[in-house]
Structure 1
Amino acid sequence: MSRFEGTSNYIATEDLKVAVNAAVALERPLLIKGEPGTGKTVLAYELARALNAPLITWHVKSTTKAHNGLYEYDAVSRLRDSQLGDARVHDVRNYLKKGKLWEAFTAPARPVLLIDEIDKADIEFPNDLLQELDRMEFYVQETDETIRAEVRPVVVITSNNEKELPDAFLRRCFFHYIRFPDAQTMQDIVEVHFPGIKPRLVSEALKTFYEIRDTPGLKKKPSTSELLDWLKLLLVDDVAPETLREKTPGKLIPPLHGALLKNEQDVHLFERLAFMSRREGARPGG
């Protein structure tokens, strides 16, 4: 299988490339952590593209149980059909709904399986998947058969660090934390999404963006995806780089800040900073 080097749509740092290729070589699940908006989920999509492999996605919710990934047996439908005299009741397979692991294990070509936001489920969820991910097989009681993967899928698991994952689960994964991109990497990411964008606008926008992220007391730091949304709006409204450079007291909140600041506490924080800055400027000799 070819090595992952990033794609035309996805800027991968050197250490991320190493992590992806190591996980593929070891045939271990790749556990990706990082701030929301750092491209964890997109990585699986781009990895599937790069490997020319089918992608199977399992988006985990708070109510998700491990058995949902294997299969679900619809006993209620079978009982109803038996009361109606439906011939389908004679084959229990008609009432088994394949889960994402079943799909991945029986895919005709080696797939990429994304288990997205595993930390949203309860703490038992990762442990309940250990055996299946280790052995790449599971038993179906209703049909007395074992579903076994002929080829191990490439497994990418993402976590937003909402809760700690069990040690036994972590031992079986190759781990990588996606650090928030530095200014140079971010500039490369912006160029991928907006080829030929005005360099002065990008320079001023990045300065403002990182200043906002570094503001003490900020509840939610803006992410890469929010920066890209903001840049798109700046381009649509044809905002001049000089507008972003202005640091007068009344201009501390950047234009179209709703793309970057996503809760009232952070907006109030910048309003307070602007107010304090105006007061400082209004003092005699200030």
Structure 2
Amino acid sequence: MLFTGTDSYIATSALQQAVNAAVILEKPLLIKGEPGTGKTLLAEELAKSLETELIQWHIKSTTKAQQGLYEYDAVSRLRDSQLGDPRVHDIKNYIKKGKLWQAFSAEKRPVLLIDEIDKADIEFPNDLLLELDKMEFHVYETGEQVKAAIRPIVIITSNNEKELPDAFLRRCFFHYIDFPSLDEMEQIIDVHFPNIQQRLVKEALEVFFKLRDIPGLKKKPSTSELLDWLKLLMADQIDPQVLQDKSHQGGLMPLFGALLKNEQDVSLVEKLAFMAKR
């Protein structure tokens, strides 16, 4: 198996090498990068290219590692016992399989996505060390030992909100997705909008990269936000020349809400446009 990207996902040679190295080493692939650079989409496209199941575990601040293995619903069992439900005699009726258990029991090698692991508690990665390393865990309520029949391909994403433990990092193959260059961005746009007017692409990319270069910008626009902006520009049939018109909307680009996501950045762009006019 060699991953080379897909028709709808442009993967750099470095990213392709990282995916293939992680598969060969049978280690989780830890992907970092700016939000909107396609970290989550990578797992989706990898599963699509392999024609296999994608099992997604989206992590929240309240997520516990145990939830990825299984959860035992003792409250439901107690209620059913009070109601005389015969199901209470089999404890397996009250055990809910987590995403890791689902991946371990898959008949065909799946892709397991652990998305935004840095959102969870600092101990979360450490609590999964053994399970991701040995690909097995113990179910205490039933005495069952769950072991992966086929080792899943594990993709773990992080937005760098907090540092991950060294012991966890040692067990991963790491890759940082750099923000796309101008040429790479043109390829990405061509994949999503093959019939787009090239002059619009040229003017939009110039505005986009200038915007990202503004010092003090609180949130730089991402690739996904650029694609949303282009979609709106095409839908409204915006003349490419308008994108360079500094007098438009106080110096703001048309449909700026697709790129600028807070009032501080809007004010900053307006202020810079006003100062440039003077």
TM-score by length of 1: 0.95
**Counterpart AA for 1:98:** K
Structure 2: 5+ residue stretches without partners: none
Deviations 1:227-255 (A, max 9, x none): 00000010011111111133458663111
Q: Secondary structure at the match of 1:33?
A: strand
**Residue in 2 that maps onto 1:283:** none
**Counterpart AA for 2:173:** F
**Counterpart AA for 1:273:** L
**Residue in 1 that maps onto 2:188:** 189
Q: Distance in 2 between matches of 1:116 and 1:221?
A: 21
**Residue in 2 that maps onto 1:268:** 267
Deviations 1:189-226 (A, max 9, x none): 00111012111100000000000000111000000000
How far did residue 143 of structure 1 move? 0.6
Matched, 1:103 2:102: yes
**Residue in 2 that maps onto 1:198:** 197
Contact residue 32 and residue 177 of structure 2 kept, 8 A: yes
Matched residue count: 278
Q: Distance in 1 between matches of 2:189 and 2:62?
A: 36
**Counterpart AA for 2:178:** R
Contact residue 129 and residue 168 of structure 2 kept, 8 A: yes
Q: Distance in 1 between matches of 2:75 and 2:262?
A: 44
**Residue in 1 that maps onto 2:209:** 210
Q: Secondary structure at the match of 2:96?
A: strand
Classify 1:240/1:249 alpha carbon distance in 2 versus 1 (closer, same or farther; 3 Å).
closer
* Higher alpha-carbon deviation: 17-26 or 244-253: 244-253
**Counterpart AA for 2:270:** E
Q: Distance in 2 between matches of 1:73 and 1:51?
A: 33
Deviations 1:103-123 (A, max 9, x none): 000011110000000000000
Q: Distance in 2 between matches of 1:247 and 1:199?
A: 21
Classify 1:250/1:103 alpha carbon distance in 2 versus 1 (closer, same or farther; 3 Å).
closer
Contact residue 249 and residue 275 of structure 1 kept, 8 A: no
How far did residue 276 of structure 1 move? 1.8
Deviations 1:6-64 (A, max 9, x none): 00010000100000000011000000000000000000000001111111000000000
Q: Distance in 1 between matches of 2:45 and 2:269?
A: 37
* Higher alpha-carbon deviation: 244-253 or 145-154: 244-253
* Mapping of residues 1-286 of structure 1, within 5 Å: 2-248=1-247, 252-278=251-277, 280=278
**Counterpart AA for 1:115:** I
Q: Which runs of 4+ in 1 moved over 4 A?
A: 248-251
Q: Structure 1 vs Structure 2: percent identity of aligned residues?
A: 70
Q: Distance in 2 between matches of 1:251 and 1:176?
A: 40
Q: Secondary structure at the match of 1:168?
A: helix
Q: Distance in 2 between matches of 1:203 and 1:138?
A: 53
Q: Distance in 2 between matches of 1:146 and 1:83?
A: 30
Contact residue 249 and residue 274 of structure 1 kept, 8 A: no
Deviations 1:162-211 (A, max 9, x none): 00000000000000000000011000000111012111100000000000
Deviations 1:61-118 (A, max 9, x none): 0000000000000000000101111000000000000000000000111100000000
Q: Secondary structure at the match of 2:211?
A: helix
Contact residue 208 and residue 244 of structure 1 kept, 8 A: yes
Q: Distance in 2 between matches of 1:240 and 1:20?
A: 41
Q: Distance in 2 between matches of 1:87 and 1:249?
A: 71
Contact residue 249 and residue 277 of structure 1 kept, 8 A: no
Structure 1: 5+ residue stretches without partners: 281-286
Q: Distance in 1 between matches of 2:174 and 2:11?
A: 16
How far did residue 277 of structure 1 move? 2.4
Please tell me the root mean square deviation across aligned C-alpha atoms, in Å. Answer: 1.0
Q: Secondary structure at the match of 2:162?
A: coil
Q: Secondary structure at the match of 2:187?
A: helix
Classify 1:87/1:3 alpha carbon distance in 2 versus 1 (closer, same or farther; 3 Å).
same
Q: Distance in 2 between matches of 1:25 and 1:250?
A: 53
Q: Distance in 1 between matches of 2:182 and 2:250?
A: 23
**Counterpart AA for 1:70:** L
